[in-house]
Structure 1
Amino acid sequence: MSSSSPRSTGDTPVPPAGLTRFNAADDATARTTLHEVCASRAWGERILARRPYATTDALFAANDAAMADLTAADLAEAMAGHPPIGRPKPGDPTSHREQSGMAGASDALKAELLELNLAYQEKFGHVFLICASGRTGEQMRDAVRHRIGNTPEREREIVRAELGKINRIRLTRIAEHAEGDAA
């Protein structure tokens, strides 16, 4: 059974336990939870406003709609919540988990990625953002090498798509998180 196919009792779908808790949380708690998913306040408010969610798919649809509506300033705010690839936030298990592909990277690869990150940031004015989950250090290096040649407009749309993927992974963790489990 997948998280997007909820159990049902008769004709009424039963959302996963974590999604039920998220739906029932007070606005301040839900807002804090959403901020851990995406640093954009506009995105969080859009997700919050559409509660309750009957299914994880409904939550994903809200994410997709909210992502499509983000302005350049909203995207910048969202990106500010992400550390550079190869430098996860100290003490942040989500950041370390998402960038695990860099864990075994050589010092040479880490240095090259740092150099590429700085060049990318100089060109675009923000951190290189990629859905790093499941990617190797080499794949992330190759992606930044390729994307640094993009126009700012093209790169903004790629960032929007990558951020949407990251949000989906994080929202899945919230929806599937059983009480007492580590998120």
Structure 2
Amino acid sequence: MTSTSTPPGLARFNDLEEPAAFAALHEACASTAWAKRLLAARPYASAEDLYTASDAAMAELSAEDLAEAMAGHPPIGRPKPGDPTSAREQRGMAGASGELKAEMLELNLAYQEKFGHVFLICATGRTGEQMRDAVKERIGNTPEREREIVRSELGKINRIRLARLVEEDA
């Protein structure tokens, strides 16, 4: 049981049956290893403890685990149809011009050709132009450097998604 000082959303998460908690975590991040590490550390006394555990689990992910996590993310400029999380996170591209959307598609394809996965960035709060500039800058990275940037960006996305999970009203 969780203490009464635990925020209600976090208490609800701590009290979920394991399959439901796993599903909630898997929705936040498609990495099975990440979700299992977070499950194993429940209950969390504070949201910050959950975020710290998320960061630690992200740091430990193998290349295969990272690939699994990235597979859960659609390309920038093409949110998953019917997925409000994807649409909300990529809001900066929603009002982009057709020219910018076409440029992002081209850049996404070039990035994917070079690195073998979608361009991943914590898009929350970024404009379409900022995302375009980021892919232009990052496409020059080595695969090793880019993998670490992707790990960092995934960590930011996971924190935002976990915050939404534990701050939700019942």
Structures share a fold, TM > 0.5?
Answer: yes
Rounded to whole Å, the distance in 1 between the matches of 2:6 and 2:144 is 38
Letter in 1 for 2:128: G
In the alignment, does 2:64 pair up with 1:73? yes
For residue 13 of structure 1, report the CA deviation from its aligned partner.
7.0
Aligned equivalent of 2:88: 97
In the alignment, structure 1 residue 157 sits paired with structure 2 residue 151: no
Give 4+ residue runs of structure 1 displaced > 6 Å after superposition.
Answer: none
Q: Matches of 1:13 and 1:156 in 2, distance apart?
A: 40
Gapped regions of structure 1 (runs ≥ 5): 1-11
8 Å contact from structure 1 (residues 131, 166) kept in 2: yes
Matching residue's letter, 1:20: A
Letter in 1 for 2:46: T
Counterpart of 1:114 in structure 2 is 105
The one-letter code sitting in structure 2 at the alignment partner of 1:60 is Y
Give the one of 160, 168, 172 matched to 2:159.
168
Please list every run of 5 or more consecutive structure 2 residues that lacks an aligned counterpart in the other structure: none
Distance of 2:165 and 2:68 partners within structure 1? 21
Aligned residues: 168
- 1:56-99 superposed Cα distances (whole Å, 9 cap, x missing partner): 00001100100000000000000000000000000000000000
Secondary structure at 2:38 match in 1: helix
Amino acid at match of 1:142: D
Distance 2:80 2:111 in 1: 19
The letter of the residue matching 1:151 is: T
Q: Which amino acid aligns with 2:145?
A: R
Superposition RMSD on alpha carbons, in Å?
Answer: 0.8
Q: Deviations over 1:37-56 (max 9, x none)?
A: 00000000000000000100
Asked if structure 2 preserves the Cα contact closer than 8 Å seen for 1:98 and 1:133, the reply is yes
Q: 35, 41, 47: which is aligned to 1:44?
A: 35
- What TM-score do you get using the length of structure 2 for normalisation? 0.97
Which amino acid letter does the alignment assign opposite residue 105 of structure 1? A
